[in-house]
Chain A
Amino acid sequence: MSIWEYANPKKFMATTDAVLPWVTGLAALALVTGLVWGFFFTPDDFRQGSTVKIIYLHVPAALMAINAWAMMLVASLIWLIRRHHVSALAAKAAAPVGVTMTLIALFTGAIWGQPMWGTWWAWDPRLTSFLILFLFYLGYIALWEAVDSPDTAADLTSVLCIVGSVFAFLSRYAVNFWNQGLHQGASLSMDAEENVADVFYLPLLVCIAGFVALFVALVLIRTRTEIRLRRLHAIELRERLG
């Protein structure tokens, strides 16, 4: 019994079929709990008022935007090294979800920034890095769309994902160097002394769990769709030959 057994599309489909309702349910439950808790049952911040509550969308979305790219990187590596098709399809499936998360983070950030910083947009390092991440996602998706042969597309996008990761990282620190920003330092880390107060922290954790489950559920659904598309394509080819 090894993890690679799930690279078998049949096994993958069977397992995800059983797991998917649970993950989706968990995502719905955690999101509803976290958001309702966060929006209606936490006190207003003494300086930011009720605008602080957008944190329950902003932070988890931003977190998942980065983690989605990391997941794509791992999936791309698995595809390049072990040639498991499910892995390549999962990377393909994750990209649009990652883009959406990036957009959510950027838009909620703008909405939050307007009352707090007095501007929708500033060339703050984190904002800029996210915009750059968005561009990387766009390039990745565009390359998938542009190449006809699925295996070639998977190879090229995997290489792009790896090189892109390195450059996304570089850009992140180059941007830091370029301009000091408006964001505060880390406020959710495990060991920092200045963290968000527990009243806000706990619902935020639930929201993060909800976003993780939502991401997993969406990627699973999209990967299953991709696998079905492949099967459909194979059936059509067989019928045309037969």
Chain B
Amino acid sequence: MIRLFRRDLALATRAGGGFGLGLAFFLIVVTLVPFGVGSDTGQLAAIAPGILWLGALLSCLLSLDRLFQLDFEDGSLDLLATAPIPLEGVVAVKAAAHWVTTGLPLTLAAPVLGVLLNLSGPGAVWLVISLALGTPALSMIGAFGAALTVGLKRGGLLLSLLVLPLYIPTLIFGAEAVTRGQQGLSATTPLALMAAVTLGALALLPFAAAAALRVNLR
């Protein structure tokens, strides 16, 4: 499983893996927002938590379709399915690798982009904490969506339609935590709830995703 993790990391970071594309996309989204809503700093600060969370969510979505697709096409997914490690474990490892290559960089880059949107200091702290707690759920839910659509020719658009509604609880709690943190209120309640969603997703979704993969590999 560690080997699989390393292999996925290597594939993602080397040429053509699309590593960094998610980050660039995140940057572009954040850059475009002031053009759309105006450069008033107060207004930007007010919407910054939501925009940063939305941007992170969309960049996470961007790299999902290649999570299983390439392995499915060249047949290595079949090999992984017949390998001695359980398919649930494969899914979890792949989701973890996805998180390390997208969620983690997004979390680290978010406070820098927060500066562009005039996010306050405490807001930035809470943003990092909430993203760190929430993005694993995004990767795991995304892995489930990718497992559902892996056999499809044009699964990309369908993938977003399936996955984005599942992101709603995480987004609500995440953005709420940052907003509260920015206003100096206690952010622990939404954070705890979001962590619960993340843990639940990590515990249960590998089974659902593996079931979907088995159906698609039949």
Q: Answer whether residue A225 sits at the interface, using C-beta atoms and an 8 A cutoff.
A: no
DSSP majority for the B interface?
A: helix
Interface size class of B (residues with CB under 8 A): 20 to 34
Distance, CA A235 to CA B133, complexed state (A): 54
Q: Which residues on B sit within 8 Å (CB–CB) of A139? A: 158, 161-162, 165
Which residue of A159, A171, A177 contacts B148 across the interface (Cβ within 8 Å)?
A159
B165 lies within 8 A of A177 (CB): no
A135 lies within 8 A of B148 (CB): no
Q: Answer whether residue B78 sits at the interface, using C-beta atoms and an 8 A cutoff.
A: no
| Listed stretches A40-48, A65-73, A160-168, A216-224; interface member | A160-168
Q: Which residues on A sit within 8 Å (CB–CB) of B193? A: 174, 177
Q: Answer whether residue A146 sits at the interface, using C-beta atoms and an 8 A cutoff.
A: yes
Q: Which of B172, B176, B190, B197 has the most CB of A within 10 A?
A: B172
Q: Kindly count the residue-residue contacts between A and B in the assembled complex, taking CB atoms under 8 Å apart.
A: 74
Q: List 9 A-B contacts (CB under 8 A).
A: A132-B165, A135-B165, A146-B155, A146-B158, A152-B218, A155-B211, A162-B208, A171-B168, A174-B169
Q: Which of A142, A146, A171, A175 has the most CB of B within 10 A?
A: A146
Distance, CA A175 to CA B218, complexed state (A): 38
Q: Answer whether residue B186 sits at the interface, using C-beta atoms and an 8 A cutoff.
A: no
B161 lies within 8 A of A170 (CB): no
Q: Answer whether residue A136 sits at the interface, using C-beta atoms and an 8 A cutoff.
A: yes
Q: Answer whether residue A107 sits at the interface, using C-beta atoms and an 8 A cutoff.
A: no
Top 9 nearest A-B pairs (CB, nearest first) are A174-B169, A155-B215, A135-B165, A170-B169, A174-B172, A139-B162, A171-B168, A167-B166, A178-B172
A163 lies within 8 A of B208 (CB): yes
Q: Answer whether residue B152 sits at the interface, using C-beta atoms and an 8 A cutoff.
A: yes
Nearest B residue to A172, CB-CB: B169
Q: Answer whether residue A52 sits at the interface, using C-beta atoms and an 8 A cutoff.
A: no
Q: Which residues on A sit within 8 Å (CB–CB) of B152? A: 146-147
CB of B50, distance to nearest CB on chain A (Å): 11
Q: Which of A138, A156, A166 has the most CB of B within 10 A?
A: A156
Q: Which of B161, B169, B190 has the most CB of A within 10 A?
A: B169
